[in-house]
Amino acid sequence: MYIHVIKERVLSVEKRFLSPQETIDLTISNGVKKAGLSFEQMLFLGIFAGVYIGFGGFASITIMQTIKNIDAGLMKFVGAMVFPVGLMLVIICGAELFTGNNLMVFAVLKREITVSALLRNWGTVYFANFLGSVTLAFLVSKSGLLQGDVLNLTFSIAQNKIFQDPVVPFIRGILCNILVVLAVLMATASLDIISKIFSCWFPIMLFVLSGYEHSVANMFFMPLAKFGGMDISWAQIFLNNLIPVTLGNIVGGAVVIPFMYSRAYFAEGRKDYKVSIKG
């Protein structure tokens, strides 16, 4: 009798998050929806995502410059605490982020969307993320906020992102997007807004603190330094950072996680991979 009552109480508790299997299923369904967006939707939502990540990036610069002379590790940690707001805005307000959309590979593996539909989304969203990031960087450079210690730190960040060995940013890009797509999966599994916030915060804080490389964030940081007066060319921005980092992001977010998790969570013989969540 006592055990029966306990079981009833457990079953009556409201479900607050999805299981890993349910999360993958919902990610596949979301991938189908993303592939079905119009060019205009991808463009505008992609621009928003670039701006949102840039908002988090500039806020992290602003707070880091205030304590950079105290301790380097503490400076990085405080900046890492602020930066995740960008992904929170993407997830909760709705936007298309290239690195997060790497998870659409799940839908390809399940043959719910074609490779051409995947590449159409990636190409459009990547361009839109770049457009949004660069636009925000230009506006910030003209706002009067990019000066003094903020400007100096912006130059330092950009300088440290000009890699001579492409293997280094490539590997950092892999490690970065493993954490980014895990943050997206955690947010997908979360059924309330507070859980989504914490799901975004911890993995993104971790990748920033660790020094990994995120292509969309760099679309903001490096043009910001250029617009601020740093002697850096667009060729350097792409060849010494964005291209190898983007390739690394794709490996981490579109190869490592989807292919390994698909081996663990794709159930044999299942045909319905759409999950409906009632909230």
Predicted pLDDT of residue 9: 42
Mean pLDDT score of the chain, rounded to an integer?
91
Mean pLDDT of 61-67: 92
Of the chain, the percentage scoring pLDDT greater than 90 comes to 85
Taking the C-alpha atoms of residue 30 and residue 226, their distance in angstroms, rounded to an integer, is 36
Q: Are 90 and 132 in contact (CB under 8 A)?
A: no
Q: Are 128 and 42 in contact (CB under 8 A)?
A: yes
Taking the C-alpha atoms of residue 32 and residue 36, their distance in angstroms, rounded to an integer, is 6
Judge if pTM exceeds 0.95.
no
Predicted pLDDT of residue 73: 87
Q: Please report, for residues 110, 116, 132, the alpha-carbon distance to residue 26 in angstroms, rounded to integers and kept in the order given.
A: 12, 21, 28
Tell whether the model's pLDDT for residue 5 goes beyond 70. no
Predicted pLDDT of residue 47: 98
Taking the C-alpha atoms of residue 192 and residue 24, their distance in angstroms, rounded to an integer, is 18
**DSSP letters spanning 145-208:** -S-HHHHHHHHHHHHHT--SSTHHHHHHHHHHHHHHHHHHHHHHHB-SHHHHHHHHHHHHHHHH
Predicted pLDDT of residue 217: 98
Could you tell me which residues are beta bridge partners of residue 17?
190
- The structure tokens listed for 248 are 């690394």
- 17: Cβ–Cβ under 8 A, 6 or more apart, which residues? 189, 190, 191, 195
Q: Are 101 and 191 in contact (CB under 8 A)?
A: no
Q: Are 153 and 225 in contact (CB under 8 A)?
A: no
Q: Are 201 and 38 in contact (CB under 8 A)?
A: no
Tell whether the model's pLDDT for residue 267 goes beyond 70. no
- Other CB atoms closer than 10 Å to residue 2's CB: what's the count? 6
Residue 17 sits at φ, ψ, to 5 deg, of -155, 160
Higher pLDDT, 18 or 265: 18
**pLDDT digit string, tens, across residues 9-48:** 444 456 788 999 999 999 999 999 999 999 999 999 999 9
- The structure tokens listed for 136 are 């925000």
Q: Confidence band (pLDDT; 50, 70, 90) for 279?
A: very low
| Helices 115-141/20-35 angle, 10° precision | 80
- 138: Cβ–Cβ under 8 A, 6 or more apart, which residues? 223, 227
Q: Are 185 and 23 in contact (CB under 8 A)?
A: yes
- Other CB atoms closer than 10 Å to residue 236's CB: what's the count? 17
- 7: Cβ–Cβ under 8 A, 6 or more apart, which residues? none
Which domains, from first to last, does the chain contain? Answer: 18-265 (1.20.1080.10)
| Helices 39-67/115-141 angle, 10° precision | 40
Predicted pLDDT of residue 268: 52
